[in-house]
Amino acid sequence: MLLMDSVRRAGCSPVCLDLSVGLSPSPLKMGAGVAAEPGRPDPPAGGCRMASSIADEQAKTLEAKLTQVSEENRRLTEKIAYLYANQIARLSPDSTDSTHASQAASPPPAASRKRSRDSMDEPPNSGDADGSGKAEAVESPPSDDFEGSCRRIKVSRVCTRIDPSDTTLTVKDGYQWRKYGQKVTRDNPSPRAYFRCAYAPSCPVKKKVQRSAEDSSVLVATYEGEHNHPCPTRDGELPSCATRGGSVPCSISINSSGPTITLDLTKNGAGGVRVLEAAGAPDLKKLLCQETASAEFRTALVEQMASSLTRDSKFTEALAAAILKQLPDY
């Protein structure tokens, strides 16, 4: 886009755009016509004469931008790590390893009932959660090692905007789920549905789906554990915003043993990111709101998303196919 913009500003025709997306070793290649691949015909007459110098200039610009974005990324990472560490320290001043033993004897008053339940719900084979365990869901007796039994399963939340009239508690994420229960919980008038992964019998993953208490048009899906099998459909590799005919995940949560931070990826019309909530850390939410509102954050986020997409050869192939479809035969 930067190149396109510069080329446009330089008075060159946009026809020079080389869209050899995914067809060359370089996954995404957009540039002026002179940057054509070897063996390809020269740019059409009327192409950019200044393209060579512009390409050099743009290469430098992009390089500088890459450095800047990398620096921003590093800075943001450090900042989030710092904020997170601060919050943890503030929320659990005695959160050291030694608390495990005392927790069994006398639970800390600040620890909510729910929190202790969450750790209790850990499946017997939840060692899988760190990816190092075996994939078998074999019942094993509780370990005497308290440290081991307290290991947290991976918990993540996905908020999904749905039609308020849609009463089905389904979130299409590509995996197959079997519903095994539904309950009305105290803090929310809408029922909570419980699902197990139905694709692999040994898969320990569970999912809870419930409408948000604040906004009934938002479904909150809580995933516990990690799948020990590949996703049955490609759509499920990520909760996809392109999902059709179903609910559309529109936000992500950063979890899991610490404060939950929910980012809304769609609601901000200005193209920014909105912090929906930072459970258990109101100050963190305030700070993150400031941070995500910044132009630097948006730029870094966009860069990172673009980078992830362009590294995915499947994506670039699909994009190339879609573009070729739109182009007249030549």
Partner DNA sequence: CGACTTTGACCGGCGC
Partner DNA sequence: GCGCCGGTCAAAGTCG
How far is Cα 275 from Cα 257, in angstroms, rounded to an integer?
19
Closer Cβ to DNA, 104 or 309, answer by number: 104
How far is Cα 45 from Cα 13, in angstroms, rounded to an integer?
11
One of 40, 183, 286, 311 touching DNA (CB under 7 A) = 183
When asked if residue 172 is in the footprint of DNA (CB under 7 A), the reply is: no
One of 1, 45, 105, 120 touching DNA (CB under 7 A) = 120
One of 46, 107, 189, 230 touching DNA (CB under 7 A) = 107
When asked if residue 117 is in the footprint of DNA (CB under 7 A), the reply is: yes
- Residue 319 beta carbon to DNA: minimum distance, rounded to whole angstroms: 34
When asked if residue 189 is in the footprint of DNA (CB under 7 A), the reply is: no
b/e map 157-195, b = 16+ CB within 10 Å: bbbbbbeeeeeebbbbbbbbbeeeeeeeeeeeebebbbb
CB within 8 Å of 1: residues ≥ 6 apart: 30
Closer Cβ to DNA, 53 or 185, answer by number: 185
When asked if residue 194 is in the footprint of DNA (CB under 7 A), the reply is: yes
b/e map 15-34, b = 16+ CB within 10 Å: ebebbbbbeeeebbbbbbbb
Q: What distance separates the 2 farthest-apart alpha carbons in the chain?
A: 82
207-246 footprint of DNA as x/- string (CB under 7 A): -x--------------------------------------
Closer Cβ to DNA, 60 or 178, answer by number: 178
> Binding residues for DNA, per CB under 7 A?
107, 113-114, 116-118, 120-121, 168, 176-183, 185-187, 192-194, 198, 206, 208
